Structure 1
């Protein structure tokens, strides 16, 4: 793994997220390897390997990682090795979901006025151990970046505990470290100084991009850190441009809606040193046939008009 002295020195990120949610066994298949090879034929220079451990519900402190809940270490290592062989840099991104369907940004012990600090500490201790384990795996497999958390909105106020998690990761891993906040949270996270890059899930509505850019610029410049989008994308369905974060949105297939979202985003984002690029959401481990793209309602751009939009934008930044 090449040692980067400053995150400002990395090439512009033209990335894609692969294989979420990372169920055990799904990456150790010919289908997953074929999907990764198809991803490498696109204009990407980075891939994020993303998978989610499980909590029973947002107030249950135990986190289930590893088989049978998630992909195994061997699956992760093999996919990281394949990505590297294909010329891609790799970000490892372990995160957490709740089995009852609650969003991870609503994990809570007690409430905002009276948090159950003992339960929060227990949860963070377990979380730090898990992140340290995957940081060791990222180091062993030469991953160029590690993401210590994703959209943990209700956990973010516990600043000291996050700093402990990040310190645990850095004790095991020498590469670039980021944290992935939710859209609209970029200016509220208080531990940006502890990571190398600021990142967010930038699921902004199609008509809000230009008003949001000055805020993102101010955040990056205030902290002296580059910013990139650890997640961003839009399903190919009618109405999703107004709520691109909503993977359950019921709209019918609309490939042009997805393309318009990408056009709006790329036209709004400036070519300035503080902005380091995109990790698009998402590319499945089991890729649909290209001739079936017109029937697909997911975030994947493969074979859709948005693919051409991404090609043009990324070719300009290669």
Structure 2
């Protein structure tokens, strides 16, 4: 009878874990010039987010410059080590878990996936410089007990040209940081990323094209996901790792599902319905899947009362109808 009771309890626990799997319902918390307070964290809690990506930055002058500049006095407070630590601790104090996600910014906003050195000497310099940058934040991730550490964001040429470096740096990171690891691959990069077996999550910045319509319906977006979803699942199955959308989201603009990665300053017409529908479809397509870990909305600003709004066509969901959709969705998965 004792053995039967233990077996029964084990089966109940297994069933509960299958039916109540907690998803990562995160926001990408944007760096600012100043420290944050409880006032800035409360809106994150109010939408039922359980994670925030905190993002320190390193800077590169151009796509073939090997020096990563970071932790300088010229940076905004929230982009520096000191600011990142303050942000993380403020969020953790309110029960929000942290993914530390160091990122590179190339001058004039050039795409980081194109960073590529022209000589072996410069590749070595870039590797040394990036190592200093990423290992410093691996140490911080360990110090603040971050649940997830992201080892890079959208660096396809760097990854594809220097695979030995990435294998080595992952080993070095694991000596310092003991939590979960991911890498944020661009939506058209993740299929070729060579080191997923060494990480805990397959990270994807999920700006997949899903509809050419001016105002896509939920049904149209779901139809669009049928092209991409089997590929995403196949990568998950092949590596036996869950998928994590390290970034996802849509601008509140016409044709938002056509080229969701576009973040230029175009002044297209505000289209709140398009943002709503594309977001609902993404939730419907992925959050119920057991191979899907969750994701981080792009993007969330600290000064909640003064950003976004119904005249804003940018990515942020703040003070737009889609914020209520996200809040309701996250509430169901608490």
Under TM normalisation by the shorter chain, which class is it?
0.7 to 0.9
Q: CA deviation at 1:37?
A: 2.1
Displacement of 1:240 = 2.2
Q: 1:40 is matched with which residue: 27, 45, 48?
A: 45
User: How many residues align structurally?
Assistant: 299
Answer yes or no: is the 8 Å Cα contact 1:237–1:252 preserved in 2: yes
Instruction: Tell me the C-alpha RMSD between the 2 structures.
Output: 2.0
Structure 2: how far apart are the matches of 1:135 and 1:302? Answer: 30
- Which of residues 114, 119, 122 is equivalent to 1:119? 122
Do the aligned residues in 2 keep the contact of 1:17 with 1:281 (CA within 8 Å)?
A: yes
Counterpart for residue 113 of structure 1: none
The answer (yes or no) to whether the contact 1:128–1:164 under 8 Å persists in 2 is no
**Residues 83 and 234 of structure 1: is their aligned pair in 2 closer, same or farther, counting only changes over 3 Å?**
same
**Contact 2:26 2:296 survives alignment (8 Å):** yes
**Bigger radius of gyration:** 2
**Residues 1:160 and 2:176 aligned together:** no
CA 1:66–1:89 in 2, change beyond 3 Å: closer, same or farther? Answer: same
CA distance in 1, matches of 2:56, 2:327: 26
Residue of 299, 302, 310 corresponding to 1:285: 302
Partner of 1:58: 63
- Give the one of 177, 182, 185 matched to 1:181: 185
Deviation at 1:34, TM superposition (A): 2.8
Deviation string 1:285-304 (CA, Å, 9 cap, x unpaired) is 333438x7112222111221
Alignment match of 1:148 (pick from 136, 148, 151): 151
- The Cα offsets for residues 143-176 of structure 1, whole Å up to 9 and x where unpaired, read as 1111000011211212111112212211111011
Equivalent residue of 1:211, what SS? helix
Match of 2:310 among 294, 298, 304: 294
CA separation in 1, counterparts of 2:180 and 2:34?
A: 24
- Aligned-partner Cα distance in 2 for 1:100–1:237: 23
Any gaps of 5 or more consecutive residues in structure 1?
1-7, 111-115
- 3-state SS of paired residue (2:159): coil
Question: Aligned to 2:23, which of 9, 12, 36?
Answer: 12
- What do residues 12-32 of structure 1 show as CA deviations (whole Å, max 9, x unaligned)? 11001001xx36xx24155xx
CA distance in 2, matches of 1:14, 1:258: 18
Partner Cα distance (2:230, 2:106) in 1: 34
- Asked if the contact 2:66–2:125 (Cα under 8 Å) also holds between the matched residues in 1, the reply is yes
TM, length-normalised to structure 1: 0.88
Q: Does residue 69 of structure 1 match 2:75?
A: yes
